[in-house]
A = this chain, B = another copy of it.
Amino acid sequence: MKRRLVLKLGLLGGAVGLARPARAAGVHLRGTGDLGLIVERAGGSLGLIDTTARSLLTRIQGLGDLSHASIVYGRSERYGYVFGRDGGLTKVDLLEQRVAKRIVQAGNAIGGAISDDGRLIAVSNYKPGGVRVFDADTLAPVADIPAVGAGGDRSKVVGLVDAPGRRFVFTLYDAGEIWIADLSGEAPRLTKFRDIGALPYDALITGDGRHYIAGLFGEDGLVHLDLWAERPAPRRILDGYGRGETKLPVYKMPHLEGWARAGDRLLLPAVGRHELLALDATRFEEVGRIPVHGQPIFAVARPDGRQAWVNFAHPRNDTVQIVDVPSLEVVHELKPGPAVLHMEFTPRGHEVWVSVRDADRVDVYDTKSFEKRAELALRKPSGIFLTARAHRMGL
Q: Does A61 contact B (CB under 8 A)?
A: no
**Stretch binding the partner chain, chosen from A22-30, A63-71, A189-197, A236-244:** A22-30
Q: Which residues of B contact A73 (CB under 8 A)?
A: 33
Given A31-B74, A74-B31, do A350 and B79 touch, yes or no (CB 8 Å)?
no
Q: Contacting A210 at CB < 8 Å: which of B30, B78, B304, B391?
A: B304
Q: Which residues of B contact A94 (CB under 8 A)?
A: 31
- CB-based nearest B residue for A14: B19
Asked whether, in the complex, the Cβ of A76 is within 8 Å of the Cβ of B19, the reply is no
Asked whether, in the complex, the Cβ of A22 is within 8 Å of the Cβ of B18, the reply is yes
Q: Does A208 contact B (CB under 8 A)?
A: yes
Asked whether, in the complex, the Cβ of B77 is within 8 Å of the Cβ of A33, the reply is yes
The A155-209 residues at the B interface (CB cut-off 8 A) are 164-166, 184, 208-209
Contact with B along A1-32 (1 / 0, CB 8 A): 00001001100110110111111111011111
Contact with B along A357-395 (1 / 0, CB 8 A): 000000000001000000000000000000110111100
Q: Which residues of B contact A336 (CB under 8 A)?
A: none
Q: Closest 3 A-B residue pairs measured CB to CB? A: A31-B78, A33-B77, A31-B76
Interface of A with B (CB < 8 Å)? 5, 8-9, 12-13, 15-16, 18-26, 28-34, 51-52, 73-79, 94-95, 116-118, 164-166, 184, 208-210, 228, 263-264, 282, 303-306, 326, 346-351, 368, 387-388, 390-393
